[in-house]
């Protein structure tokens, strides 16, 4: 705020995704995932909202996951954290709308990043995941940036509390 004068747009995009079947998951791994994916979203939002209220407007865009809508075997901690982000988004949209603060969420499916590269380096795993994506390809980070930019823009002035799925259609097939 000291450098830029105000915060107009907050994108909560920090996240971790680590394999852990429930019977092998430690409380530390659960807490780490919840703390980064959900509590981090809460903390950044908590400290930005007063600025947005004072200037009578703003945009908050949270990054969740399709896993937060449908669950994900052996990643229950991740799915729980992203489901929490979705509920947090909807709750804040109802709370902050009267301040002209739009709160929305983008829920990607598979995105090729450093975090997921190991899945797609395995030919068998890659074929399995691509088979449930109607568009036939894994998203690139740029595929997520466009919808975030849209929600941050004036084109989305009357959109709040929405979960924008960006997954190549995979939620339709799995």
CB 25 within 8 A of CB 77: yes
Return the number of other C-beta atoms located less than 10 Å from residue 55's C-beta. Answer: 15
Q: Is 47 marked active-site?
A: no
Distance CA 160, CA 41 (A): 17
CB 125 within 8 A of CB 119: yes
Helix H segments across 55-111?
Answer: 67-70, 76-96
Among candidate residues 42, 47, 75, 78, the one labeled active-site is 78
**Rounded-to-5 percentages of helix, strand, coil across the chain:** 50, 15, 35
Positions marked catalytic: 78
């Amino acid at each position: 705020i000291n450098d830029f004068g105000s915060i107009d747009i907050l994108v909560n995009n920090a996240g971790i995704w680590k394999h852990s079947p429930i019977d092998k998951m430690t409380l530390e791994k659960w807490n780490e995932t919840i703390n980064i994916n959900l509590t981090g979203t809460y903390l950044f939002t908590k400290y930005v909202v007063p600025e947005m209220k004072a200037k009578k407007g703003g945009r908050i865009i949270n990054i969740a996951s399709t896993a937060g809508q449908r669950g994900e075997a052996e990643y229950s901690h991740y799915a729980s954290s992203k489901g929490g982000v979705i509920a947090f988004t909807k709750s804040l949209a109802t709370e902050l709308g009267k301040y002209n603060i739009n709160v929305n969420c983008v829920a990607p499916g598979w995105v090729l990043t450093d975090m997921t590269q190991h899945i797609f380096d395995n030919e068998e795993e890659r074929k399995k995941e691509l088979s449930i994506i109607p568009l036939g390809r894994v998203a690139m980070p740029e595929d997520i940036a466009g919808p975030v930019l849209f929600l941050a823009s004036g084109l989305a002035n009357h959109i709040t509390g929405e979960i924008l799925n960006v997954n190549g259609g995979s939620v339709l097939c799995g």
